[in-house]
Amino acid sequence: MKATYQKHILNFKRPGGTSRGVMQTKETWFLKLSEGEKVGYGECGILRKLSIDDRPDYEDKLKWVCVNIHLGKETLYESLTAFPSIQMGVETAFLSFEANYPFELFPSRFTEGIGSIPINGLVWMGDKSFMMQQIKEKLASGFECIKMKIGAIDFETEIALLKSIRKEFTAHEIELRVDANGAFLPGEALEKLKRLSELEIHSIEQPIQAGQWNEMALLCEKTPLPIALDEELIGVFADEQKQQLLQAIQPHYVILKPSLIGGFRGSDTWIELAENQDCGWWITSALESNVGLNAIAQYTFTKSSKLPQGLGTGSLFTNNINAPLKVNKGFLKYNPNNQWNTDFFNTTKLCL
């Protein structure tokens, strides 16, 4: 078996704003396995400034994986604990290589084009007019769940935007989620959560910065609004530590980004631990290309969650890999009659 990797810079169609800054591009890395005519593709979806494996030796570790691909997926996965996005790439590449078709990793009604996945419509941060434009677009597209990034502009403006939705749509008609990306200070967070709860918000992701277990636990105890942990899960490797985190904070939900938490195996562990203490969960992408998004979507479908998932990111980029994924009226679907653009992997220079 031969393994190669390549870097790809995804360009946003329009800037993606969060409380951590505005993104114009997104770096990602592809891993390709080959043996004779058999191939497998994986994506190492690192998020700079957020992924725990945003390290100077990241590419060196990819080279190491390619040189040592003969060790096999189990040994490689176990050796990559500190590099969860590469774990995800290795895991996916081997699943792809072993599959009958390299882009059908988890055959199901989803890959047959019959089943679909409910997803939320994502509204990026920006000025009031830009955010309102996005909200209108999502509502017009048939989304019944909207997730709005908050925390970067004036809170009163954000409240006004949410109020404008609630004036037209009840909580039964449109589910609203908000994501603060840790933007609130612990001392102000509870009061802001109370304000948000008046608008019948479904939940808030990561209201305060990660690593403040005591403060987050207190918020989860007193909040009138369900809290979902996101960044809090990053860098928590050991199963015992994962369990300690959930027991200490007692969140209402956890949000799983496989590229940030060790792929599907890491996600399975979080799901089991969360369900053991009646904590809900859903899965989101981490701005991967369609290669990673496809793998995550297929995995997600097998979990039979009824909640809207965060998998509507495939249309964000101008230079994504053409894929059979399509968003229609708030659902992600897979059309097996459409083809993947595998020429991309043949024409792009591969590094060893």
Residue among 257, 326, 329, 349 flagged as catalytic: 257
Compute the distance between CA of residue 87 and CA of residue 270 in angstroms, rounded to an integer: 16
Domain ranges in the chain are 2-104+342-347, 117-334
- Single-letter residue type at 176: L
**Helix, strand, or coil (residue 337):** coil
CB-neighbour burial class of residue 125 (10 A; exposed 0-12, middle 13-18, buried 19+): buried
Residue among 149, 167, 329, 333 flagged as catalytic: 149
- What's the sign of the alpha-carbon dihedral 256, 262, 268, 271? negative
pLDDT in tens, the chain (352 residues): 999 999 999 999 877 766 567 788 999 999 999 999 999 999 999 999 899 999 999 999 999 999 999 999 999 999 999 999 999 999 999 999 999 999 999 999 999 999 999 999 988 877 788 888 888 899 999 999 999 888 877 899 999 989 988 988 899 999 999 999 999 999 999 999 999 999 999 999 999 999 999 999 999 999 999 999 999 999 999 999 999 999 999 999 999 999 999 999 999 999 999 999 999 999 999 999 999 999 999 999 999 999 999 999 888 899 999 999 999 999 999 999 998 987 877 765 566 5
Q: Is the pTM of this model over 0.85?
A: yes
- Cβ distance 44 to 288 under 8 Å? no
Asked about 222 being catalytic, the answer comes back as no
Domain 2-104+342-347 has CATH 3.30.390.10: yes
- Cβ distance 7 to 57 under 8 Å? no
Asked about 149 being catalytic, the answer comes back as yes
Compute the distance between CA of residue 252 and CA of residue 250 in angstroms, rounded to an integer: 7
117-334 sits in which CATH class? alpha beta
